[in-house]
Amino acid sequence: MRRTLLASGASLFLLGFLIPEAKLIPVDAATPNDWNKDSFWYEPWGTSGVHKGIDIFANKGTSVIAPVDMLVLYTGESSKGGKIIVGLGPKWRIHYFAHLDQISANLAFAMLSGSKLGTVGDTGNATGKQAHLHYSILSLVPLPWRIDNSTQGYKKAIYINPIEYFEAQ
């Protein structure tokens, strides 16, 4: 019984790495010109110390789309992120979307790449700033070779640079 459970768990874990990633930019019609190429791990960055994602600038109300096929794990609000969505994608990666103006009423547990998740906004600590989507990617499987001596550099074992992620298509 234990061996069967262990084998099933290992198979499921490995299956997560075999699911292909579409890697779409999660803001409709956005290009690399819509974010600052130096914004990932920029410091100082408010109370979090460093910026662990990128801000993709767009007009308020622009569609935010699923960059990969994903399972929606959480939708709600937080003081910093405002309206947020958290999803699990291939390779056991968490995709975090913050400062949304609206979360789609058609949001389902499973979303296909390119499906509308919501719209770009300025909620949370982005209130009064230019509308944008804060987008972060976290790996549930630590990547220790990415650790460096930068501020909070040990956290690079789990945070993936979205700019490099999109470039590796």
**pLDDT tens column, 8-27:** 767 778 878 888 888 999 99
**pLDDT tens column, 120-137:** 999 999 999 999 999 999
Which class would CATH give 19-167? mainly beta
Strand partners, 84: 76
The pLDDT value recorded for residue 36 is: 87
**Residue 126 phi, psi (nearest 5):** -95, 0
Locate the domains of the chain by residue range.
19-167
Average predicted confidence (pLDDT) for the chain: 91
- CA–chain centroid gap for 115, Å, is 15
Structure tokens at 141: 């499987």
Neighbouring residues of 161: CB distance < 8 A, sequence distance ≥ 6: 40, 41
Kindly tell me the sign of the dihedral angle through the C-alpha atoms of 56, 62, 68, 72: positive
